[in-house]
Amino acid sequence: MALLAAASPRMAEAQVQASDNVRQITVDEAVEIALRRNPGLLQAYSAIEMAEHNRLSAYGALLPGVSAFFSYSNSSTGRLDALSQGIVATSYSTRLQANYTLFDGWGRFTNLKSARLGVVEQNARYREAEFQVIQQVKQAYAAAVATRELVAVEERRVQRQADQLEFVRQQLELGRATRSDSLRSQVDLNNAQLALLTAQNNARTRTFELTEVIGSETLVGPTAEAELAMAAIPFTRDELFAMADLTAPALEAASLAVEAAEAAVSGARSSYLPTISVGAGYGWANQEFPPSNRSWSVGLSGSYPLFNGFQRETQLFRARATADQARQNERAARLNLSSLLDARYATAQSALASVDLAERNVELSEESLRVVQERYQLGLATILELQDAQITLTQAEVDLVRGRFDYEAAVAGIEALLGRRLDVP
């Protein structure tokens, strides 16, 4: 144990040197980097681009289709050309063809509406993913700050245990303490040094987790001035629920999915109506180049499937089933939002109350440790009482840090659900 105690300062120094390469950033900078580089957010943005291309395709369905045709043929033997009444070996033809669907049961318009809603839905889902990333970044940042504060707690514990060991040794020399008291104090110091190493390793791990969340290629960590803020939530529970109905990205995306699915049902119904199209063409053809023989055509066509193997019925059934699923998903999203919002608000309020109690406990524990040290010096307290006072103070400091972290995490979770920051009016 003595060897471990001697080696611990060198290990702690190596840990600090390893942290010198960490680039310190603020929480706002961490969020900004994550919004640009987080892999999950980049995938969500790709979904927006796909939805926009689907909308472009839906717009294109409202425009006429234009095609160009060209043919050339040459043969070793001549053939009789009906136009020139001669034997020719080559022939050329060119034709431009345009087609436009006049009526298809409003299917193109319902598809366009569905595509538009798809773009808005994907933007809402991107905003949801965006605030989820912000939540992850803030929680990871708060965890990094909290573990750093826990390192400070363990450093103070090591210092107190070292002071206690020195104090007990002085009492031993004066005959006021026993050899057992000195050994117990040495064990307590060694345990405190082990706890400090564990806290330092946890802080290093949280730094890597923060780096991963924001998608940075270089190791980043909180600034030296960063701390766990305790700004109270400026809204009541009912006000948060009212805000969720208006701004929650999950509800907005689910509602838009329902509208898009209902539009798809209307599109499926259009398959029961006839399709009417108009077409026109203009071409050139001859055995010489450029061709001089010209022709044009205009036509109107219509079709109505009397029976297509129940494909229309199946398509309509699937569209209705998808719409029902979308409505149930919206209901589930609303229930889930209410449950999560209430739980996180309760967690935030509990954490806020626990922080007040923990601050008071730290003050009381410090005073209790001072009193026990004086009583031990007078021979009125045992080493066990001194150990209990040390443990109680350390635990109170740990509870204070954890309470602040729980509050920060709960607030970040509420902001992710609402799709907005709570400190911005």
pLDDT in tens, 236-261: 999 999 999 988 999 998 998 898 88
Residue 3's pLDDT is what?
Answer: 34
- With beta carbons less than 8 A apart as the criterion, state whether 372 and 385 touch: yes
Pairing of strands 86-103, 23-25: unpaired
* Bridge partner residues of 88 (DSSP): 79
Residue 306's pLDDT is what?
Answer: 84
Q: What is the pTM of this model?
A: 0.75
Kind plus residue range of the DSSP H or E element containing 310: none
- Whose structure tokens read 């826990």? 150
Residue 288's pLDDT is what?
Answer: 62
CATH label, 2-65+105-277+310-418, candidates 2.60.40.420, 1.20.1600.10, 3.40.1280.10, 3.40.50.920: 1.20.1600.10
pLDDT in tens, 284-299: 776 665 666 778 888 8
Q: Kindly report the number of other CB atoms within 10 A of residue 58's CB atom.
A: 19
Burial 219-247 (b: 16+ CB within 10 A, else e): ebbbeeebebeeeebeeeeeebbebbeee
> 162 burial class (0-12, 13-18, 19+ CB within 10 angstroms)?
middle
- Nearest 5°: phi and psi at 25? -135, 160
Residue 76's pLDDT is what?
Answer: 65
How big is the chain, counted in residues? 425
- With beta carbons less than 8 A apart as the criterion, state whether 142 and 207 touch: no
Ranges assigned E (strand) in 220-332: 220-222, 275-286, 293-303
Q: Kindly report the number of other CB atoms within 10 A of residue 21's CB atom.
A: 9
- With beta carbons less than 8 A apart as the criterion, state whether 159 and 78 touch: no
Residue type (1 letter), 77? T
Query: What are the structural domain ranges in the chain?
Result: 2-65+105-277+310-418
What is the three-class DSSP state of 63? coil
Nearest to 237 by CA among 408, 410, 405: 410
Q: List, for the chain, all residue ranges whose pLDDT scores fall below the cut of 50.
A: 1-19
Nearest to 301 by CA among 118, 100, 114, 149: 100
- Mean of the per-residue pLDDT values for the chain? 85
Residue 89's pLDDT is what?
Answer: 63
- d(CA 247, CA 241) in angstroms, rounded, equals 10
Whether the ω angle into residue 290 lies within 30 degrees of 0, i.e. cis, is yes
pLDDT in tens, 349-398: 999 999 999 999 999 999 999 999 888 888 788 888 988 999 999 999 99
**Complete DSSP assignment for 367-423:** HHHHHHHHHHHTTSS-HHHHHHHHHHHHHHHHHHHHHHHHHHHHHHHHHHHHTS-TT
- With beta carbons less than 8 A apart as the criterion, state whether 417 and 340 touch: yes
